[in-house]
Amino acid sequence: MRVIIADNYEAMSKKAAEIVAKTVMEKPDCVLGLATGSTPIGLYKELIRMHKQQGLDFSKVRTFNLDEYYGLPPEHPQSYYYFMYENLFKHINIPLQNVNVPSGLVKDVKAYCLHYEEMIKQAGGIDIQVLGIGGDGHIGFNEPGSSLGSRTRLKTLTEQTVKDNSRFFERIEDVPRFAITMGVGTIMEARKCLLLANGTKKANVVAQAIEGPVTAQVTASVLQLHPDCVAIVDQEAAAELKRKEYYTYVERMSQQFDKV
């Protein structure tokens, strides 16, 4: 795993945008795996800026989102489709028919999840998967104890996740208790994974994910086994990394190598 320690949230977001933009420019019809939450908002703002000011073209790009609350319609202000539309899709030139966010209203959940997996396969697989990390180390909604080989499915959210996400709702009672999420195995099939984390609250779980044992109790830790994973964290989120100085050294040396 390549670990990049950025000075702050803005620098983290810009670096992440550079990596995503490089994928889009090198492969105009690439498939992007996207995440919601507060962490990737800076990344999306930078991609919007690059589209408007530098002509970054999303006209052939296809996207698949990690997850969606079960029971929320796409027009609900807290649905992840709404989040993606407001924070990215409506600001760039991506055709909405190229956008895929799991449906939170399907009746036959099992059949739908198999269909979502098949759509990813038919699209040629995900080229780069953007990921955040939950306070308990989950990626997507793959809560602690999720199988590291799991596929897209319906998951029951932990009390911690419900509490963490309650800040987006008027009352904690309004937070859905279920979500449709890509599985850990699904995420690991992406050609490249991009893990983002910022803030002191994420410092402990970032250290567990990057330097701790690979365990289903911290599903993000499986990214240690991915052949091409980049973790970009700010200084606060990197505070508990034991090899922090080494990661900084590696990045400095790699920049020198790139100039040769």
* Residue of 57, 136, 236, 251 with catalytic role: 136
Helix (H, G, I), strand (E, B) or coil at 5: strand
* DSSP labels, 100-147: E---S--S-HHHHHHHHHHHHHHTT--SEEEE---TTS-BTTB-TT--
Give the active site residue among 68, 117, 138, 189: 138
Do the beta carbons of residue 70 and residue 154 sit within 8 Å?
A: yes
Contact, 102 vs 67, CB < 8 A? yes
7 is catalytic: no
The answer to whether residue 127 is catalytic is no
Catalytic residue check, 46? no
| 75 is an active site residue | no
> Per the residue annotation, which of 143, 189, 226, 234 is the catalytic one?
143
| Parallel, antiparallel or unpaired: strands 178-181 and 153-156 | antiparallel
Catalytic residue among 46, 67, 127, 189: 67
Q: Whole-angstrom Cα distance, residue 57 to residue 132?
A: 24
Burial class from Cβ neighbours inside 10 Å (0-12, 13-18, 19+) for residue 222 reads buried
Give one DSSP letter per residue of 140-208, joined into a string: TTB-TT--TT--SEEEEPPHHHHHHHGGGSSSGGGS-SEEEE--HHHHHTSS-EEEEE-SGGGHHHHHH
Beta pairing partners, 100: 64
The residues that are catalytic are 67, 136, 138, 143
